[in-house]
Amino acid sequence: MRAIQIERFGGPEVLQLAEVADPEPVAGLVPIEVTTAGVNYADTHQAEDSYLARQQLPLIPGAEVVGTDPDGHRVVALLGNGGYAERVRAHPSVTFPRPETGDDVTALALVLQGTTAWHLLRTSARMEPTESVVVISAAGGVGSLAVQLARIWGAGRVIGTASSEEKRDIAGELGADVTVDVSGVDAETVRERLVQANEGRPVDVVLEMTGGAVFDGSLAALAPFGRLVTYGLASRRGPTPVSATALMATSRAVIGFWLVQALRRRHGIGPAMEELLALAGSGGLRVLDGGHYPLADAARAHQDLRSRRTAGKLVLDVRPRR
């Protein structure tokens, strides 16, 4: 089968199209003939072996696919890796029917980025109605969905950050009350801009995936009992170490999130997917189509993602329609 295979860790240049053996049959796993694969920022970390789970070579990246199961049903599935390929095996607990009324992009966006946004707000931040919510990278795959969910669930003020005017306009269209740029500035400026965006008040919740000064400034912008949920390190720069006594003195919380842990909960991502699919089906949740790339152009997709040239959900057309 055709797949994108990594023989050495590195940047986008290590993603190469190759002919590889089909995945071995495994009892209990669902064989899927893949038509479309999702691209996530975490995949760029996977390619350089800088992600939370260590990777082994040779590696086929990719954590989500849409395709056809042996009974001819269209399904969307979550994977540990292996998604950038024509065939995969998925666990039935993370394999869901692809809605007939939706499209592949929507299904792919919801199964990983959507469930992440859902758990960030519901499980980790435990957002309450009327609270202020900051979404860093609000036009990205997770961020664009988190902005909408925060608005749907009654946030008092939704603040989105993005690095360009075009992306800030997108965040505003999705439901952000105000948008700001916090890229390329120091932590104190990040804090000032977030507080100013919240009408001069510290904020209640921040969903943060950049690291570095953005993490530091976002933490400083929190109100007492505010929560910062960290779920990425897009800048490849770690934040300043957090002092336990500083957290105590301000009654702030820093919470880490990795979707793998949500999968290990009793009901996994099932409740999240059920609600997200219902919202998308009713038109209450909008997925941004960030662009389609042929499977052979996976490296270009990673380049565009890392250079911040994209918004919304990127996908690889594994078997493009003719």
Of 242, 261, 280, which residue constitutes the final position of a domain? Answer: 261
Is there a contact between 60 and 298 (Cβ–Cβ < 8 Å)? Answer: no
CA atoms within 13 A on the CB side of 26: 11
Q: Which two tokens stand for residue 281?
A: 């089906």
CA angle 143–205–211, rounded 5-degree value: 60
Do 73 and 200 share a domain, yes or no? no
In a domain, 36, yes or no: yes
Report residue 307's pLDDT band, with 50, 70 and 90 as the boundaries: confident
Q: Provide the sign of the torsion angle of the four alpha carbons 195, 196, 200, 204, taken in this order.
A: negative
In a domain, 281, yes or no: no
**Percentage of the chain with pLDDT > 90?**
87
In this prediction, residues 160-172 reach a mean pLDDT of 96
What mean pLDDT, rounded, does the chain reach?
Answer: 95
Confidence check: pLDDT of 195 > 80: yes
pLDDT in tens, 100-148: 877 999 999 999 999 999 999 999 999 999 999 999 999 999 999 999 9
> Which positions ≥6 away from 67 have C-beta within 8 Å?
32, 33, 34, 35, 36, 74, 75, 77, 88, 318
Instruction: Give the per-residue pLDDT at 118.
Output: 98
Do 172 and 293 share a domain, yes or no? no
Do 137 and 227 share a domain, yes or no? yes
Do 33 and 163 share a domain, yes or no? no
pLDDT in tens, 21-42: 999 999 999 999 999 999 998 9
Q: Can you name the residues that pair with 315 across neighbouring β-strands? A: 38, 292
Residue ranges making up the domain that contains 82: 2-98+288-317
Of 261, 278, 298, which residue constitutes the final position of a domain? Answer: 261
Do 166 and 251 share a domain, yes or no? yes
In a domain, 253, yes or no: yes
Do 125 and 252 share a domain, yes or no? yes
* Three-state SS sequence of the chain: CEEEEECCCCCHHHCEEEECCCCCCCCCCEEEEEEEEEECHHHHHHHHCCCCCCCCCCECCCCEEEEECCCCCEEEEECCCCCCECEEEECHHHEEECCCCCCHHHHHHHHHHHHHHHHHHHHHCCCCCCCEEEECCCCCHHHHHHHHHHHHCCCCEEEEECCCHHHHHHHHHHCCCEEECCCCCCHHHHHHHHHHHCCCCCEEEEEECCEHHHHHHHHHCEEEEEEEEECCCCCCECCCCCCHHHHHHHCCEEEECCHHHHHCCCCCCHHHHHHHHHHHHCCCCCCCEEEEEEHHHHHHHHHHHHCCCCCCEEEEECCCCC
Q: Which two tokens stand for residue 109?
A: 């966006």
Do 138 and 19 share a domain, yes or no? no
What's the total number of domains in the chain?
Answer: 2
Q: How far apart are CA 225 and CA 206, in angstroms?
A: 12
In a domain, 103, yes or no: no
In a domain, 74, yes or no: yes
> Which positions ≥6 away from 287 have C-beta within 8 Å?
105, 106, 109, 110, 114, 144, 145, 280, 312, 313
Confidence check: pLDDT of 89 > 90: yes
Instruction: Give the per-residue pLDDT at 236.
Output: 85
In a domain, 278, yes or no: no
In a domain, 279, yes or no: no
Confidence check: pLDDT of 207 > 90: yes
Residues in the chain: 322
Do 53 and 143 share a domain, yes or no? no
Do 85 and 169 share a domain, yes or no? no
Do 73 and 32 share a domain, yes or no? yes
Do 38 and 165 share a domain, yes or no? no
In a domain, 31, yes or no: yes
- What CATH number corresponds to the domain at position 166? 3.40.50.720
Do 22 and 80 share a domain, yes or no? yes
